[in-house]
Structure 1
């Protein structure tokens, strides 16, 4: 019987580099964001808030990372997962910390899920673009939302 399971986890250095790259990309777009990076279990590994970014978006960014890292797919895909099932739409969207709109991407390295990155403060498309910049900065697998 196996008692211990090793789970891949993003290194703190990579988490910080991804967060910084997302902020640098936001600067190039002229937007202000909050960005959170979690490990695959949802624990916060890095966070950055640009001056002037909406304070209400702090928890949203962290929760986008939590959702994407925990489930392993972009937050923007949640509505297609629900399909026409109204019960799922209502039930899942009412769960604490579950974000069902764009801006959260899973962090995969060579196919292994190691965490999530979440960006909030701009449009969903800009948030996702900043999150992808974070993926690129650490050599994570490219993921489209």
Structure 2
């Protein structure tokens, strides 16, 4: 039997605060979602000025990254390279850049998903959140 680290609420708060700080530093109005390894929502922050739709997209990006154990951009790239059939994959909701898994010792602990600015900037915010817990 293997042991696996899990995200604690203190970790979630640190990631959320760091992601928010990165967004505010750049004047980006975004929604930030954090999920556990099963894609279940642990935190959702819709910053002032963020589009209402971003509150649906950010959790979906995080869900996709957590279940796939890889950045959501991987799926976007697959589709853009012609693998359109991947659009029919079950339980994969947002195949857009901006969902980043939280990985430790080869295990996925959860993911951060961000929506509201350019996809690469969404991913930048997600990574800043994850870096706050030393991963």
Tell me the C-alpha RMSD between the 2 structures: 1.9
Q: Which has the larger radius of gyration?
A: 1
Determine whether 1:23 maps to 2:20. yes
> What does residue range 126-137 of structure 1 map to in structure 2 within 5 Å?
126-137=121-132
Deviations 1:71-113 (A, max 9, x none): 100011103445533322x313xx5661111110000123321
Determine whether 1:38 maps to 2:39. no
Pairs aligned (count): 134
Matching residue of 2:117: 122
Distance of 2:109 and 2:91 partners within structure 1: 22
Deviations 1:1-38 (A, max 9, x none): x8xx8654211111121111111101111111110100
**Residue 120 of structure 1: how far off its partner (Å):** 0.6
Matching residue of 2:105: 110
* Contact 1:107/1:116 (8 A) holds in 2: yes
Question: Normalising by structure 1, what TM-score?
Answer: 0.83
Unaligned runs of 5+ in 2: none
Unaligned runs of 5+ in 1: 141-145
* Contact 1:12/1:46 (8 A) holds in 2: no
Which of 60, 75, 90 aligns to 2:57? It is 60
**Residue 62 of structure 1: how far off its partner (Å):** 0.8
Distance of 2:123 and 2:83 partners within structure 1: 26
Question: Normalising by structure 2, what TM-score?
Answer: 0.88
Distance of 2:6 and 2:67 partners within structure 1: 12
**CA 1:125 to 1:114, structure 2 compared with 1: closer, same or farther past 3 Å?**
same
